Amino acid sequence: MHIEVISNVNEAQSERFTHRTAIVIDVLRATSTIVAALEAGAAGIVPVETVLEARALQTGGNLIAGERFCRKIPGFDLGNSPEEFTADNVLGRRIVLTTTNGTRAIHKAMRADHVLVGSLNNAAACARTALELRRDIVLLCAGSHDEFALEDGLCAGLLISELQQLSPSPLEMNDIGSAMLGLYKSAGTAIHEMLQSSTTGKRLNKNGSGRDIERCSQVNISGIVPRMQGDMLVQS
Amino acid sequence: MHIEVISNVNEAQSERFTHRTAIVIDVLRATSTIVAALEAGAAGIVPVETVLEARALQTGGNLIAGERFCRKIPGFDLGNSPEEFTADNVLGRRIVLTTTNGTRAIHKAMRADHVLVGSLNNAAACARTALELRRDIVLLCAGSHDEFALEDGLCAGLLISELQQLSPSPLEMNDIGSAMLGLYKSAGTAIHEMLQSSTTGKRLNKNGSGRDIERCSQVNISGIVPRMQGDMLVQS
């Protein structure tokens, strides 16, 4: 089995996903938030690329959620903080979500046979599901504004580490995959500190969203594996 | 002082180099070979992008050297193996060099105030020279065929580690810089093994150039810091 890591959404040409399972990673915060929303009992998450598309889908009991530049969009029901996605707010609801990088990355991956959503929170469960799907795997790090984001690379490294532990045969990977595995190993128990020091981590801290960093840093606290079915992410 | 790592030549827009010192890295093998050539007493290395340009400069005692896809170019005096660049072959000579990725990366960096050449072999000396030039620093990993190459990322991490040790004030860096520093720390003493496992390393082994990997893996064996002056790299 081959694992390919793509370091940011700008490098994600659609042919790289054909016949593969994609795992989309945007640790701070879109993919952590999607996991939290399903964990809290949301019926599903519809990722869309623009604010306009989200507003057009604000019908039939749908909630609309999202951010631009780490801030909630005016008039939206929810922002992009996992903490907002509680059972009180989202149980049984369909959520239309648009974020600066994460939802764009999910759309880039749509050519894949299967699209999963990964985060530090659900890495082991996500790796297990991906292996069961028996395809080569592409880990798409969303990054931030077309640049590599440290937290997404770290999560790619964790996912490779989990895949290695679960896979019955040795895994091949591209060079950026080997590098991210090395990065993850070097982090040891300092994952929260590494997220704090990342570009997005610093920006979130400045915006008063430091608690989100803490939550998004927690490894394997959820068994939820969001998976694209039609236009909606649901629990697989 | 700010350190920016660019993970492959494809991401190297020229404005990223303005008012900065660039260190170009192509460990397997162009920048290791350039260090070896100056160490052996070559008068200078003229990096050119095409085979045609190199042939046009085969005059006045110049040697022409280079590779395409890890193999020596037919009719050239030398290939791109550091071992070929001995005093017997190159002492006092000007060498025109063209390689698949490395010389292209050097040309991309030409907008910088200063262009240095880095490798595992000369990392400490290169870091010292770069600090003395008192500019923000861009580490350009040449990569391979527009993709990230593990050995170049590892060298970027080593260079940052050397810069941190030498710099009187704390360094800031972009996220890919932090990731490469983590990668370098995770490698420990297994640098040669990491180069063997890289995509280019495997290709060189297949072509019978395994000894080059060993040589290019050696950390801080040279005090030579190649630096662009006009159209030629000379000892700084």
For residue B48, give the DSSP letter. Answer: -
Judge whether A178 lies within some domain: yes
Mutate to test the interface with A, among B25, B160, B175, B180 (most CBs of A within 10 A): B175
Mutate to test the interface with B, among A27, A152, A183, A197 (most CBs of B within 10 A): A183
Residues of chain B below pLDDT 50? none
C-alpha pair distances (Å), A84 with each of A32, A65, A143, A178, B203? 12, 10, 23, 35, 50
User: Which residues does chain A have within 8 Å of residue B187's beta carbon, measured at their own beta carbons?
Assistant: 182
**Interface contact flag, B148 A175, Cβ < 8 Å:** yes
The pLDDT, as a whole number, for residue B44 is: 98
Distance from CA of A78 to the nearest CA of B (A): 29
Q: Which two tokens stand for residue B123?
A: 């990392």
Q: Could you tell me where the beta strands, DSSP code E, fall in B77-120?
A: 94-98, 114-118
Q: How many alpha carbons lie under 13 Å from residue B13 in its C-beta half-sphere?
A: 3
CA dihedral of B201, B203, B204, B206, whole degrees rounded to 10: 120
For B220, the domain range is 2-228
Residue among B160, B142, B148 nearest B102 (CA) = B142
DSSP-assigned beta bridge partners for residue B118: B25
Distance from CA of B179 to the nearest CA of A (A): 6
Q: Are A235 and A224 in contact (CB under 8 A)?
A: yes
Q: What are phi and psi of A119, to 5 degrees?
A: -155, 175
Residue in the structure block whose two tokens are 């469960």: A125
Pairwise pLDDT comparison (B14 vs A219), residue with the higher score = A219
**Interface contact flag, A178 B187, Cβ < 8 Å:** no
Q: Which two tokens stand for residue B234?
A: 């000379």
User: Considering its fold, how many domains does chain A have in total?
Assistant: 1
Residue among A34, A236, A206 nearest A130 (CA) = A236
Q: Are A175 and B150 in contact (CB under 8 A)?
A: yes
With an 8 Å Cβ cutoff, is A81 touching chain B?
no
Share of chain A above pLDDT 90, in %: 97
**Interface contact flag, B198 A185, Cβ < 8 Å:** no
Residue among B47, B2, B4, B5 nearest B143 (CA) = B5
| Residue in A150, A174, A175 nearest the CB of B179 | A150
With an 8 Å Cβ cutoff, is B3 touching chain A?
no
**Interface contact flag, A182 B183, Cβ < 8 Å:** yes
The distance from CA B122 to its chain's CA centroid, rounded to whole angstroms, is 10
C-alpha pair distances (Å), A162 with each of A75, B44, B90? 40, 49, 50
User: Which residues does chain A have within 8 Å of residue B182's beta carbon, measured at their own beta carbons?
Assistant: 182-183, 186-187, 194
Q: Which two tokens stand for residue A194?
A: 């590494």
Length of chain B: 236
CATH of the domain at A158: 3.90.1560.10
As a whole number, the mean pLDDT across chain A is 97
User: Which residues does chain A have within 8 Å of residue B180's beta carbon, measured at their own beta carbons?
Assistant: 179
For residue B171, give the DSSP letter. Answer: P
**Interface contact flag, B194 A187, Cβ < 8 Å:** no
Q: Are B137 and B3 in contact (CB under 8 A)?
A: yes
Cβ-count burial of B185 within 10 angstroms (0-12 exposed, 13-18 middle, 19+ buried)? middle
Strands A44-47 and A94-98: parallel
Q: Which two tokens stand for residue A198?
A: 């990342």
Does A120 score more than 90 pLDDT?
yes
User: Which residues does chain A have within 8 Å of residue B153's beta carbon, measured at their own beta carbons?
Assistant: 175, 179
| Residue in B144, B153, B183 nearest the CB of A186 | B183
Q: What is the ipTM of this complex?
A: 0.95
**Interface contact flag, B183 A187, Cβ < 8 Å:** no
Query: What is the CB neighbour count within 10 angstroms for residue A30?
Result: 30
The pLDDT, as a whole number, for residue B71 is: 86
Does A200 score more than 90 pLDDT?
yes
The confidence band for A104, taking pLDDT boundaries of 50, 70 and 90, is: very high
Judge whether A233 lies within some domain: no
The pLDDT, as a whole number, for residue B70 is: 81
Name the residue of chain B whose CA is nearest to A200's CA: B175
Share of chain A above pLDDT 70, in %: 100
With an 8 Å Cβ cutoff, is B194 touching chain A?
yes
Query: What is the CB neighbour count within 10 angstroms for residue B68?
Result: 13
The pLDDT, as a whole number, for residue A32 is: 98
For residue B187, give the DSSP letter. Answer: H
Can you tell me the distance from the alpha carbon of A58 to that of A53, in angstroms, rounded to the nearest whole number? Answer: 9
Can you tell me the distance from the alpha carbon of A21 to that of A112, in angstroms, rounded to the nearest whole number? Answer: 6
The pLDDT, as a whole number, for residue A62 is: 97
| Residue in B154, B175, B185 nearest the CB of A199 | B175
DSSP-assigned beta bridge partners for residue B147: B144
Query: What is the CB neighbour count within 10 angstroms for residue A189?
Result: 7
The pLDDT, as a whole number, for residue B65 is: 98
Residue-wise pLDDT for A12-65, tens only, equals 999 999 999 999 999 999 999 999 999 999 999 999 999 999 999 999 999 999
Mean pLDDT of A191-207: 96
Q: Which two tokens stand for residue A15?
A: 């042919």
| Residue in A154, A175, A199 nearest the CB of B150 | A175
Q: pTM to 2 decimals? A: 0.96
**Which parts of A6-135 fold into alpha helices (H)?**
30-39, 51-56, 87-90, 102-108, 123-132
| Residue in B175, B182, B198 nearest the CB of A148 | B175
Residue-wise pLDDT for A73-102, tens only, equals 999 999 999 999 999 999 999 999 999 999
Helix (H, G, I), strand (E, B) or coil at B177: helix
Cis peptide before A29 (omega within 30 of 0): yes
Does A70 score more than 90 pLDDT?
no
Cis peptide before A104 (omega within 30 of 0): no
With an 8 Å Cβ cutoff, is B175 touching chain A?
yes
The confidence band for A71, taking pLDDT boundaries of 50, 70 and 90, is: confident
Identity (one letter) of the amino acid at B27?
A: V
With an 8 Å Cβ cutoff, is A219 touching chain B?
no
Q: Are B191 and B120 in contact (CB under 8 A)?
A: yes
Judge whether B74 lies within some domain: yes
Judge whether A235 lies within some domain: no
The distance from CA B35 to its chain's CA centroid, rounded to whole angstroms, is 8
- Listing DSSP states for A139-188 in one string gives EEE--BTTB--HHHHHHHHHHHHHHHHH-SSPPEE-HHHHHHHHHHHHHT
**Chain B residues 144-173 within an 8 A CB cutoff of chain A:** 144, 147-150, 153-154
Judge whether A234 lies within some domain: no
The pLDDT, as a whole number, for residue B181 is: 98
The confidence band for A69, taking pLDDT boundaries of 50, 70 and 90, is: confident
Residue in the structure block whose two tokens are 């989309």: A24
For residue B64, give the DSSP letter. Answer: E
Can you tell me the distance from the alpha carbon of A64 to that of A42, in angstroms, rounded to the nearest whole number? Answer: 12
| Residue in B148, B174, B186 nearest the CB of A183 | B186
Judge whether A184 lies within some domain: yes
User: Which residues does chain A have within 8 Å of residue B149's beta carbon, measured at their own beta carbons?
Assistant: 175
| Residue in A147, A178, A183 nearest the CB of B182 | A183
Helix (H, G, I), strand (E, B) or coil at B35: helix
Judge whether B236 lies within some domain: no
| Residue in B7, B149, B187 nearest the CB of A148 | B7
Cis peptide before B55 (omega within 30 of 0): no
Q: What are phi and psi of B63, to 5 degrees?
A: -95, 145
With an 8 Å Cβ cutoff, is B15 touching chain A?
no
